[in-house]
């Protein structure tokens, strides 16, 4: 850590924090914005990406085109220490913005996939995405109506998850509960790291 | 937020009306920053002793970025605070970097696994909140 710190000294003598990204994914209405809002220490902010044309944002030709779309992403921040900050990004819901996910998940610590047991299939695309990319994720079942008919094991089976992927039940509106989901994720990432390091 | 004060001045222009200036007009149509892309959570800091006022090619948005980056700030927060889209702010940041007015600090490389000690610090930090 010390070596990292010394490289990251700003010219004004201010220290540059290390930022870690966590993605909050899931279907429409699963509680992504709520979760980002309940754990963030700052008022959740929105950032926009303006997309030009349908061929993707990198196409210079698209800039002359008249069709632009604005994608809004929610994000929040948690300061762990002066040198370490956690950024939470709610992923854009629509499938056609997958390429934004690519950017978001670049170097991300991991992801939380929010599931609603009334519409479980909504989180399949997120799970497929993170499985394919090898991004570690946990599944968090958002129990808004405090009426939870399925346990974690049933959800895990229904989603056909690998045995070690944690499934937790929580209420996205509760900051403590939402933080516990993040703890679950980070611990899972650490376990995976230790296992892949050959123990 | 400069963009907001403009909007307040004209009550027929609300947020739903969208920006008056098309987003990439601010970058003269450029969509990629000079000197390559940078991460959403890269940190920006204004270079001490830089004189953005001397540089006639800079626009108000450039100056607003330099002013907001006196303390280290992540790109995503900077974009949200100045009401600029991520694509636009990246181009402007590229200009400022070329002009030597800001420094950019990328997060640790994506290929590098996260340090277990850092992960432990995150867990402890979250528990302590």
3-state secondary structure chain A: CHHHHHHCECCCCCECCEEEEEEEEECCCCCHHHHHHHHCCCCCEEEEEEEECCCCCCCCHHHHCCCEEEEEEEEEEEEEECCEEEEEEECCCCHHHHHHHHHHHCCCCEEEEEECHHHHHHHHHHHHHHHHHCCCEEEEEECCCCCCCCCHHHHHHHCCCCCCCCEEEECCCCHHHHHHHHHHHHHHHHHHHHHHCCC
With a cut of 80, say whether residue B114 has pLDDT above it.
no
Confidence at residue B20, expressed as pLDDT on a 0 to 100 scale = 64
Confidence at residue A65, expressed as pLDDT on a 0 to 100 scale = 46
Cα A159 → chain centroid: 18
Confidence at residue B55, expressed as pLDDT on a 0 to 100 scale = 83
Rg of chain A in Å (alpha carbons): 18
With a cut of 70, say whether residue B13 has pLDDT above it.
no
Confidence at residue A13, expressed as pLDDT on a 0 to 100 scale = 64
Handedness of CA A179, A181, A187, A190 (dihedral sign): negative
| Contact assessment for residue B13 and residue B5, using Cβ atoms and an 8 Å cutoff | no
State whether residue A6 sits within 8 Å of chain B by CB: no
Instruction: Report residue A135's pLDDT band, with 50, 70 and 90 as the boundaries.
Output: very high
Task: Name the residue with tokens 């969509």.
Answer: B31
Please tell me which of the candidates B48, B85, B121 has its beta carbon nearest to residue A50: B85
Confidence at residue B126, expressed as pLDDT on a 0 to 100 scale = 95
Instruction: Report residue A12's pLDDT band, with 50, 70 and 90 as the boundaries.
Output: low
User: Between B30 and A34, whose confidence is greater?
Assistant: A34
The mean pLDDT of A3-16, rounded to a whole number, is 56
Interface touch A14/B71, C-beta < 8 Å: yes
Confidence at residue A60, expressed as pLDDT on a 0 to 100 scale = 45
State the Cα–Cα distance between residues B48 and A3, nearest whole angstrom.
Answer: 23
With a cut of 80, say whether residue A5 has pLDDT above it.
no
Instruction: Report residue A96's pLDDT band, with 50, 70 and 90 as the boundaries.
Output: low
User: Between B27 and A5, whose confidence is greater?
Assistant: B27
Query: Residue B104's closest chain A neighbor by CA?
Result: A10
| Contact assessment for residue B43 and residue B72, using Cβ atoms and an 8 Å cutoff | yes
With a cut of 50, say whether residue A59 has pLDDT above it.
no
User: Between A88 and A62, whose confidence is greater?
Assistant: A88
Please name every residue paired with B45 in a beta bridge, in sequence order, or none if there are none. Answer: B103
| Contact assessment for residue A48 and residue A116, using Cβ atoms and an 8 Å cutoff | no
With a cut of 50, say whether residue A179 has pLDDT above it.
yes
Half-sphere exposure of A146 (CA within 13 A, CB side): 2
| Contact assessment for residue A185 and residue A140, using Cβ atoms and an 8 Å cutoff | no
pLDDT digits (tens, 9 = 90+) for B85-104: 888 899 999 999 999 999 99
With a cut of 60, say whether residue A6 has pLDDT above it.
no
Largest CA distance in chain A: 56
Query: Residue B42's closest chain A neighbor by CA?
Result: A19
CA distance, residue B72 to nearest chain A CA (Å): 6
User: Between A5 and B75, whose confidence is greater?
Assistant: B75
| Contact assessment for residue B105 and residue B42, using Cβ atoms and an 8 Å cutoff | yes
Of A180, A160, A167, residue with least CA distance to A141: A167
Confidence at residue B6, expressed as pLDDT on a 0 to 100 scale = 47
Query: From the candidates B79, B89, B100, B114, which should be mutated to test the interface with A, based on the most A CB atoms within 10 A?
Result: B114
With a cut of 70, say whether residue A18 has pLDDT above it.
yes
Interface touch B43/A19, C-beta < 8 Å: yes
State whether residue A192 sits within 8 Å of chain B by CB: no
Contacts of B45 in chain A (CB under 8 A): 10-12, 14, 16
CA distance, residue B60 to nearest chain A CA (Å): 20
The mean pLDDT of B45-50, rounded to a whole number, is 88
């Amino acid at each position: 850590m010390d070596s990292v710190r010394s490289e990251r000294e700003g010219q004004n003598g201010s220290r540059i924090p290390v930022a870690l990204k966590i993605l909050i994914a899931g279907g429409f209405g699963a509680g992504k914005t709520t979760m980002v809002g309940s754990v963030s220490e700052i008022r959740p902010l929105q950032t926009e990406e303006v997309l030009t044309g349908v061929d993707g944002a990198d196409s210079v030709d698209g800039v002359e085109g008249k069709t632009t779309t604005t994608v809004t992403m929610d994000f929040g921040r948690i300061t762990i220490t002066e040198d370490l900050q956690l950024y939470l990004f709610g992923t854009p819901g629509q499938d056609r913005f997958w390429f934004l996910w690519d950017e978001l998940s670049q170097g991300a610590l991991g992801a939380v996939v929010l599931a609603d047991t009334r519409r479980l299939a909504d989180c399949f695309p997120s799970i497929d995405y993170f499985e394919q990319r090898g991004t570690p994720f946990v599944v968090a079942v958002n129990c808004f109506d405090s009426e939870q008919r399925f346990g974690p094991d049933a959800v895990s089976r229904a989603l056909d998850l690998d045995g070690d992927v944690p499934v937790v039940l929580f209420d996205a509106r509760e900051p403590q509960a939402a933080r516990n989901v993040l703890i679950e994720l980070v611990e899972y990432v650490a376990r995976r790291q230790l296992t892949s390091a050959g123990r | 937020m400069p963009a907001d004060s403009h909007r307040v001045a004209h009550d027929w222009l609300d947020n739903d009306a969208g920006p008056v200036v098309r987003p990439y007009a601010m970058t003269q149509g450029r969509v990629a920053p000079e000197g390559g892309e940078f991460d959403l959570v890269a940190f920006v800091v204004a270079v001490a002793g830089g004189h953005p006022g001397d540089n006639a090619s800079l626009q108000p948005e450039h100056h607003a970025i330099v002013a907001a980056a006196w303390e280290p700030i992540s790109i995503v927060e900077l974009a949200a605070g100045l009401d600029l889209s991520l694509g636009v702010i990246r181009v402007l940041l590229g200009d400022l970097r070329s002009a030597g007015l800001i420094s950019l600090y990328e997060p640790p490389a994506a290929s590098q696994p996260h340090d277990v000690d850092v992960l432990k610090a995150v867990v402890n930090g979250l528990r302590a909140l």
